[in-house]
Amino acid sequence: MTIGTSIQKAAEALRSDQLVAIPTETVYGLAGNALSEETVVKIFSVKNRPFFDPLIVHLGHIEQLSEFTRSVPELAYDLANTFWPGPMTLLLPKKEIIPDLVTAGNERVAVRIPQHPLTQKLLQSINFPLAAPSANPFGYISPTTAQHVADQLGSQLLYILDGGACQVGLESTIIGLENEELVIYRKGGLPVEQLRHFSDKIRIMEHSSSNPKSPGQLKSHYAPKIPLMLGDIREMYPQHKGKKIGLISFFEDFADLDIQKHFRLSPQKDMKQAAKQLFSSMRLLDNESLDVILAEVLPEKGLGRAINDRLRRAAAH
């Protein structure tokens, strides 16, 4: 396995039906030719992902939408023109050319144009779209650096395209357009507040663990191996006193508590910075020998909604 910045090497590997890890602004993706069933099967197998959980298709240009999806509503083009490239995924009726394997039999395909410059160049240099789930084993924390990918999937990949640390740090917001309504299937890097003036009907689906329409809604996900408890730190602390505690807080330093290892997501109370730090903090704590991770609930607004969503799922494990 090589970690590098060669778009040519990444493109060559992809053209010969190999998988390549790619940087995006949200998280690293495990990418392969979305039009090749054989390659898509490899993605599921490397991730150990069940076939009922469909993949997002990554495009280079908005013009490609009509190649892979049919009857794109005006509202979808408005959103696409506003937020792409960026952390937004749209669910749109798929054309036949997209294998059923990619959508897990769904008649809608999830599409997005990612923002990272290396991946943009890569997408321009190949003539097929990339199916790419987050580049982590199924159910584990998503990777936000090339090293995160190498640590877990390195032995199964030829090439990891290194684009540095992901700028957003949370997966894309997944949106379905249902009549006049915007349905949010996964809260993510695009805060719902930014969608308000596109529609006055916005429905946020909370996760469900039985027969989810979008398996991104599976409750136990993004989970560290060490148990993670979510809530108010000072309320939870007394029950865990004496244990080796790891702590994830928004900005407070909790200097008076006996904590083994502490990550403040953003001492400056900056939600963007907190989002960017979240997954790597969870990973770093998971690699310490701790008994428990205590995590604080953030304000339920803006990116805080998606951060809390990821923490809740990590805690549901």
173 interacts with Mg ion by CB under 5 A: no
Per CB under 6 A, the list member of 21, 27, 123, 295 interacting with ligand TXA is 27
User: Is residue 181 within 8 Å of residue 199, measured between CB atoms?
Assistant: yes
134 lies in the binding site for Mg ion (CB under 5 A): yes
171 binds ligand TXA (CB under 6 A): yes
CB nearer ligand TXA, residue 90 or residue 290: 90
Contacting residue, 21, 46, 79, 110, with ligand TXA by CB under 6 A: 110
| Closer Cβ to ligand TXA, 85 or 304, answer by number | 85
Q: Which is nearer to ligand TXA, 173 or 249 (CB)?
A: 173
Q: Which 3 state secondary structure label does DSSP give 82?
A: helix
Which single residue is written with the structure tokens 């928004």? 250
Question: Residues of 178-194 as b/e, b for ≥16 C-beta within 10 angstroms?
Answer: eeeebbbbbbbbbbbee
**Residue 32 engages ligand TXA in binding (rule: CB under 6 A):** no
Kindly state the smallest distance separating residue 309's Cβ from Mg ion, in Å.
13
CB 250 within 8 A of CB 264: yes
User: Is the CB of 222 or the CB of 250 nearer to Mg ion?
Assistant: 222
Examine residue 215 and tell whether it contacts ligand TXA (CB under 6 A).
yes
Q: Of 96, 30, 81, 37, which Cα lies nearest the Cα of 58?
A: 30
CA distances from 93 to 39, 96, 98, 311 (A): 22, 10, 10, 31
Nearer CB in complex with ligand TXA: 12/53:
53
271-286 vs 146-153: helix crossing angle, rounded to 10: 30
Q: Which residues contact 241 (CB under 8 A, 6 or more apart)?
A: 258
Residue nearest to ligand TXA (CB): 216
**Residue 69 touching ligand TXA (CB under 6 A):** no
Nearer to ligand TXA, 31 or 285 (CB): 31
Contact pick of 11, 24, 42, 116 for ligand TXA (by CB under 6 A): 24
User: Is residue 217 at the binding interface for Mg ion, with CB under 5 A as the rule?
Assistant: no
Q: Are strands 202-204 and 181-186 parallel, antiparallel or unpaired?
A: parallel
89 vs 134 by CB, closer to Mg ion: 134
When CB distances are held under 5 to 8 angstroms depending on the partner's kind, the choice from Mg ion, ligand TXA, none that residue 108 binds is ligand TXA
Q: Which residues are 57's β-sheet partners?
A: 111, 131
Q: Least Å distance between CB 112 and ligand TXA?
A: 6
Identified binder of ligand TXA from the candidate list 7, 19, 108, 311, rule CB under 6 A: 108
* Paired strand residues for 294: 229, 247
Q: Which residues contact 238 (CB under 8 A, 6 or more apart)?
A: none
CA angle 220, 224, 225 (to 5 degrees): 105
The residues binding Mg ion (CB under 5 A) are 134
The residues binding ligand TXA (CB under 6 A) are 24, 26-27, 29, 53-56, 89, 91, 103, 106, 108-110, 114, 132-134, 171-172, 174, 185, 214-216
